[in-house]
Amino acid sequence: MKNLWSELRPLLGSMGLFSLCINLLCLVQALFMLQVFDRVLTTYSQETLVVLLAGTAVALLVMLLLDYVRQRLQAVLGTLVDERLAPQVVATLVERAARTPQAGGAEGIRDVASLRNVFASNGLTALFDAPWAPIYLVVIWAFHPVLGIGAALALALMLALAWLNDRLSRRALEGLQGSGRRAGRYVDSSLRNAEVLQALGMTRALLARWRALQDDTAALSLSAGRSSTLFGALTRCLRQAIQIALLALGAWLVLTEQASAGIMIATTVLLGRALQPVEQLVGSWRMLADGRAAYRRLAQLSAGFEERTGQLALPCPQGRLEVDNLSFRAPGSHQPILFHVAFILAAGESLAILGPSAAGKSTLARLLTGIWAPSTGSARLDGADLAYWPRQDLGPHIGYVPQDVELFDATVAENIARLGQVSSDAVVAAAVRANAHEMILSLPQGYDTQVGEHGLRLSPGQRQRIALARALYGNPRLVVLDEPNSNLDGAGELALAHAVNGLHEDGVTSIIITHRPSLIAHVDKILVLEAGRVKRFGPAAEVMKEMQRQAQSTVDRAVQSA
């Protein structure tokens, strides 16, 4: 955010300078009226009127050009905010969503849009114009001290109304924003389970819960809207009343021969110009409040920006994996999911992770790829902590197939190429390595087949095999496969087994979470997890014998007890 402000500050300074010049030129209209009423009409001088018109026209033309440049500067400010913040925000949101799936995804993008709208709105112009109101007060005071005192009191009253609007509406607007975000998140999360909602007839119950959230939002919106409408109406009415009152005061001064008719008219015009930005601020208060809240959230979110850009690039890893005293506790939970997991894999070794459901296997997979950071301990690849390795450098050296496979709305080739520049040779090589080449060629357009949103145009087994090809794209040195055969048929299982053998022959460190013996037979070591703790770890043959011995012992005890 400091870098952003360093770019915005010169532009904002230029806007302030243009605002000063524009507000000085706005005096021309009042001075023109003053001269017309006090000089032209009293002397019947047509030449004076022509000169005044020519000078005023030049001043208005300059003001038009300055106002145009100021508006263009505002557009540049909005674009700059979007270009500088949006990529960083998206990168941070992806990282947070990977580590904390329940974190709000689109809120940061909406915050950037809110801040951009503030910089491109009339509210910002009003903020720059309002500080120059004292110029008009000084001129009015020069006309007559009584008029100056009246104008100062009027401006103070309008500012007090704007301050009161802020005090009374701030909490309601912040509550409205929070309620709207909760309702939006609830719908987004529910739509991910649309099949279950439809199949089990849960839509009505979902609507009832969403309706309750919407009712809260509507109540807060009604309260905030009522306050905003009230203050907007009060501001407009008060501005007109003030102008009428000051006009009456000027007329009284004219009647008592303390001021001229020109001064009366000019004062009314100047006061209207001084009060205009205050009225605009009250009318734009909701947008400005949204922008202020968005800025605070973005300032908190931006704490990790510099951390991402300031890390040193590390060399390509060989694949040695060291896990030391690794524990993990989910955010907001007091119960650890993993307890003091420790093991070592040499470069090129393969490991199968076994265990019952909820043993912590998928959590361990995320920790071993650096997606999540451990609560204690570390997972190191070639001595470097995976959780703090720059992702843009580590990603090409990691292959990962999650338990719930999702593809991106692109072609098969683009998905395998990890949404980067498609290299035909590298894409085909990855598909061949995953033994998915022939399956991909059987698709309607082969590698150019559009998979659709979340890959819904493909079967689960096809998505899993394409995800394996994506994991093997390039030259990964550590491959983590979480239940990679959960949706595969016999041919797919055989292709996966050949791919795992190929990884072993190529010296790639591989970790496979599975329950099926077809894959366990191809690994060097086995780690058994139970309730988040390492129950067994060692060479595959020894661990399998021990597991078989324990299973037989359990059967024997059951027979004896029967």
State the DSSP string of 291-320. HHHHHHHHHHHGGGHHHHHSPPPPPPP---
Of residues 171 and 297, the one with the higher pLDDT is 297
Of the residues 273, 302, 331, which one is the last residue of a structural domain? 302
Please tell me the predicted confidence (pLDDT) of residue 230.
73
For residue 185, is pLDDT > 70?
no
Position 253 in a domain = yes
Residue 59: strand, helix, or coil = helix
Q: What CATH number should be reported for the domain holding residue 349?
A: 3.40.50.300
Place of tokens 């690994």: 523
Angstrom distances, CA of residue 539 to CA of 95, 144, 233, 544: 35, 98, 79, 9
pTM over 0.85: no
State the burial class of residue 324 (Cβ atoms within 10 Å of its Cβ: 0-12, 13-18, 19+): middle
Integer Cα distance of 89 and 381 in angstroms: 28
Of the residues 271, 302, 333, which one is the last residue of a structural domain? 302
Is residue 283 domain-shared with residue 350, that is, in the same domain? no
Position 309 in a domain = no
Residue 369: strand, helix, or coil = coil
Position 312 in a domain = no
Q: At 144, list the tokens.
A: 């007559």
pLDDT in tens, 253-270: 888 888 888 888 888 888
One-letter amino acid at 462 equals: Q
CB 368 within 8 A of CB 477: no
Phi first, then psi, for residue 483 (nearest 5°) are: 50, 60
Is residue 262 domain-shared with residue 376, that is, in the same domain? no
> Could you tell me which residues are beta bridge partners of residue 383?
none
pLDDT in tens, 397-443: 999 988 888 888 889 999 999 888 888 999 999 999 888 899 999 98
For residue 313, is pLDDT > 90?
no
Position 313 in a domain = no
Integer Cα distance of 108 and 117 in angstroms: 14
Is residue 294 domain-shared with residue 336, that is, in the same domain? no
Position 314 in a domain = no
Range with lowest mean pLDDT among 236-240, 468-472, 536-540: 236-240
CB 490 within 8 A of CB 441: no
Of residues 120 and 178, the one with the higher pLDDT is 120
Q: Which of 457, 419, 360 is nearest to 94 (CA)?
A: 419
Is residue 464 domain-shared with residue 407, that is, in the same domain? yes
Cβ atoms within 10 Å, residue 381: 26
pLDDT in tens, 446-489: 999 988 876 778 888 888 889 999 999 988 999 999 888 877 77
CB 323 within 8 A of CB 495: no
Position 283 in a domain = yes
Band (pLDDT 50/70/90 cuts) for residue 195 is low
Q: What CATH number should be reported for the domain holding residue 281?
A: 1.20.1560.10
Is residue 368 domain-shared with residue 245, that is, in the same domain? no
Find the domain containing 327 and state its range: 321-561
Band (pLDDT 50/70/90 cuts) for residue 310 is very low
Angstrom distances, CA of residue 162 to CA of 238, 286, 446: 12, 12, 63
pLDDT in tens, 20-62: 999 888 888 888 888 888 888 888 888 888 998 999 999 999 9
Is residue 370 domain-shared with residue 411, that is, in the same domain? yes
Is residue 292 domain-shared with residue 389, that is, in the same domain? no
Is residue 79 domain-shared with residue 217, that is, in the same domain? yes
> Which of the 8 DSSP states describes residue 396?
G
Position 310 in a domain = no
pLDDT in tens, 121-149: 777 888 888 888 888 888 888 888 888 88
Integer Cα distance of 537 and 551 in angstroms: 17
Phi first, then psi, for residue 284 (nearest 5°) are: -100, 10
Integer Cα distance of 14 and 21 in angstroms: 11
Domain count, the chain: 2
Position 38 in a domain = yes
Range with lowest mean pLDDT among 110-114, 201-205, 386-390: 201-205
Is residue 285 domain-shared with residue 330, that is, in the same domain? no
Q: Give DSSP secondary structure letters for 375-430.
A: SEEEEEETTEEGGGS-HHHHGGGEEEE-SS----SSBHHHHHTTTS---HHHHHHH
Is residue 281 domain-shared with residue 405, that is, in the same domain? no
Is residue 18 domain-shared with residue 103, that is, in the same domain? yes
> Could you tell me which residues are beta bridge partners of residue 353?
513, 527
Band (pLDDT 50/70/90 cuts) for residue 211 is confident
31, containing H or E segment: helix 27-35
Please tell me the predicted confidence (pLDDT) of residue 227.
66
Is residue 325 domain-shared with residue 212, that is, in the same domain? no
Residues sharing a CB contact under 8 Å with residue 487, sequence separation 6 or more, in sequence order: 405, 459, 460, 461, 463, 464
